[in-house]
Structure 1
Amino acid sequence: MSDRIGIVWNPSKVEEADLRRAVEGAIERVFPGTRERPECLWFETTEDDPGQGAAGDALARGCDVVVAAGGDGTVRAVAERLGGSGTPEAELGVVPLGTGNLLARNLGIPLGDPQAAFARVLERAGSRLDLGVVRVRSTPTHDDAGSVDPARVEAGRDDPARVEAGDDGFDRRYGFVVMTGFGIDAQMITETDDELKARSGWLAYVESLGRAASGAEVVEFALRLDAEKPRTETAHTMLVANCGSIQGGITLLPDAVPDDGRLDLLVLRAETAGAWLDTMKNMVWDNGVKRLISRGGEAESSGSTAHLRARAVRVDLPVPLAFEVDGDDVGEITAFEARILPGALRVR
């Protein structure tokens, strides 16, 4: 049993009284009639601190388990703080309260039931989980006309992801536990209406999918995997993933395993109707039904779809494109560099 559990919770996702009842109910369920119960310390996220600082406060208070109670952004922020050094500083627990809940979906954590999710934290031993780290070259200080925007400069000073830019221009760093990338996925997140998302949950993303697909820009970009020489790729979408499943039970990257020490890449190139049919066949048949029938095998690529694997990835884009990290829109970027930190986290 953990002696001290830190609960980093997002007040925009749940009422404190409701979450406390769920936590107390889970403790009573797991430790009925005993006085040997864990101490729970509470840390609230804010607009300025999505979770990194709160998780750091939990560590400073001696918590050996830190629970992220919120959406994907809260989970990502807490995971980034716990595993960013490459070695787990405490075990991670997850109580999913958002619309995407991507890590919870991939790990089988109960959705829509905070008490059951917290009970899992109490009952399970920690298991290994890799953490992805992505550095980006962003364009946060310019307006749409390309002029310097003082308001964005000032806002960027307090950005927890901001780092001192080196000669390569990379100026932000994010941890991720599920996936990151550009293209349809990032554009869909940008296009999604927040009010609709609050009412409809993850189904709100479906409403924006058509606009995202029609607006996806096919570009030529430089891609380098591990120590290989850079090569030219043409695509409208690229995902770099630690986990392979998204909302609706859809598996985009069937080879992705969250503790294998590798990143799985999905590159989509379809422009014509025929190419999109090829993409659907690749996802539904080649890497779906056929994979189930044959019980495994590596993910298959096609003319419109490429599946790749690496421990480190570098991409240089010809134009700024929208970029997402674990479902969060982080603005437009012109380059990114991602790598995997094997076993940087332990998750319950």
Structure 2
Amino acid sequence: MTRDIAVLANPSAGRGRHRDLLSGVLQRLGPGARLLEAHSGASAEEACHAAVADGVAAVVAVGGDGTIHRALQAVAGHDVGFGVVPAGTGNDFAAGVGMPTDPLAAAGAVAAALREGRYTPVDLARVDGPGPVRWFGAVLAGGFDALVNERANRMRWPRGPRRYDLAILLELARLQPRHYRLELDGTDHSFTGMLVAVGNCASYGGGMRILPDADPADGLLDVVIAAPFGRVALARLKPRLDRGTHVTDPRVTVFRARHVRLCSEGIVAYADGERLGPLDLDMTCAPGAVRLLR
């Protein structure tokens, strides 16, 4: 058994702008911090699982939501500390659980909490579907935004943010309402629309407040759905998503539930910005599933 701190870092997170901070983060975490070796998403998860099995005192994710998502698969439901150092393009989970925005300050807070034996229980969403159990901490997207992500990931040109801009235009051109089978705590809420999100935290996509009142420690998942929008109305919704005021639109409905069943043909869901799989998913809020060091 070891009491080291296992550190999962993504040097390309935040488009590389935090690369030089890693040595400072490791120094703040203390002499027990060791960097995990990982060259892909799958190897990152394997390294985190191995560290937890070895009895580390904590796993610390240095990066954005994608890096955190990988680490969560290993720490969920285990008596191990979990630290978050926001250093990505999108840091929605870190913002949702109240971590300092400065990476060095966050590393210092993690180290202090570990020294003092102090942690905060934070909920996660457990996902049961056709494949193995998965977990997410922030938001699952299953509407127009998920379609854009899936298209952008299939594209090889152009590179960078313009690829997503082009994917948005292409998906807008084929925009159509989708039918969703939605069940909340055993009650049917199926609907036809273009937007659905489920989560524990308020924002996704680097600050869009899709679930503005979500609380990652209330034992519930927030669910937002939207009735059909036209192309112009959907485009106008974006600024309201940034502020979280879209929930006052009569075409938007917000629910809270412990258990969410969500299905729709032809949509691949994304959670914490990562590809999860076809939208035929059973989601349950797992209260206090992670021991957050802050």
- With normalisation by structure 1, the TM-score equals 0.69
Change over 3 Å in CA distance of 1:251–1:16 after alignment to 2: closer
Q: Secondary structure at the match of 1:217?
A: coil
Report deviation, 1:64.
1.4
> Is the 2:221–2:257 contact (alpha carbons within 8 Å) kept by the matching residues of 1?
yes
| CA deviations over 1:47-72 (Å, ceiling 9, x no partner) | 26253221122223321111012332
Structure 1 equivalent of residue 127 of structure 2: 134
Per the alignment, residue 122 of structure 1 pairs with 111
Kindly indicate whether the alpha-carbon contact (under 8 Å) linking 2:139 and 2:200 is maintained by their aligned counterparts in 1: yes
Indicate whether 1:102 and 2:96 are aligned.
Answer: no
Q: Which residue of 1 aligns with 2:258?
A: 311
The 1:48/1:68 distance shift into structure 2, 3 A limit, reads closer
SS across alignment from 1:134: strand
The Cα of 1:312 is off from its aligned counterpart by 0.7
Structure 1 partner of 2:287? 342
TM-fit CA distance, 1:220 = 1.9
How does 1:203-214 map onto structure 2 within 5 Å?
208-214=167-173
- In structure 2, relative to structure 1, the CA distance for the partners of 1:94 and 1:179 (3 Å cut) is same
Change over 3 Å in CA distance of 1:191–1:119 after alignment to 2: farther
Change (3 A) 1:191 1:59: same
Identical counterparts, % of pairs:
27
**Unaligned stretches of 5+ residues in structure 2:** none
- Per-residue deviation, 1:178: 0.4
Deviations 1:239-298 (A, max 9, x none): 11111123464322122101111000111223336865996798689x649xxxxxxxxx
* Contact residue 259 and residue 342 of structure 1 kept, 8 A: yes
Q: Which protein shows a greater Rg?
A: 1
Encode CA deviations 1:117-159: one digit per residue, 9 max, x unaligned: 31121134321110101233xxxxxxxxxxxxxxxxxxxxxxx
- The whole-number CA distance in structure 1 between the counterparts of 2:5 and 2:138 is 24
Map 1:1-348 to 2 at 5 A: 4-13=4-13, 18-27=20-29, 38-47=31-40, 49-83=42-76, 87-111=77-101, 113-124=102-113, 125-136=118-129, 170-192=130-152, 208-228=167-187, 230-247=188-205, 249-272=207-230, 276=234, 288=245, 300=248, 302=250, 304-317=251-264, 319-331=265-277, 333-348=278-293
4+ runs deviating over 6 angstroms: 193-198
> In the aligned structure 2, how far is the partner of 1:273 from the partner of 1:189?
18
Q: Which secondary structure does the structure 1 equivalent of 2:186 belong to? A: coil
Cα distance in 2 for residues equivalent to 1:48 and 1:248: 20
CA 1:15–1:209 in structure 2 vs 1: closer, same or farther (change >3 Å)?
closer
Task: Report if aligned partners of 2:219, 2:286 keep a CA contact under 8 Å in 1.
Answer: yes
Q: Quick one: structure 1 residues 256 and 210, their matched pair in 2 at CA, closer, same or farther if it must change by over 3 Å?
A: farther
Question: 1:264 & 1:8 partners in 2: Cα distance?
Answer: 29
- Residue segments in structure 1 that go unaligned for 5+ positions in a row: 28-36, 137-169, 290-298
Letter matched to residue 102 of structure 1: D
Q: Structure 1 CA distance, aligned partners of 2:20 and 2:261?
A: 44
Deviations 1:152-197 (A, max 9, x none): xxxxxxxxxxxxxxxxxx2343210001131122123234479999
Distance 1:274 1:56 in 2: 46
1:106-127 CA-partner distances (Å, limit 9, x unpaired): 234344x532331121134321
Which secondary structure does the structure 2 equivalent of 1:44 belong to? coil
Distance 1:197 1:314, change over 3 A: farther
Shift of 1:95: 2.0
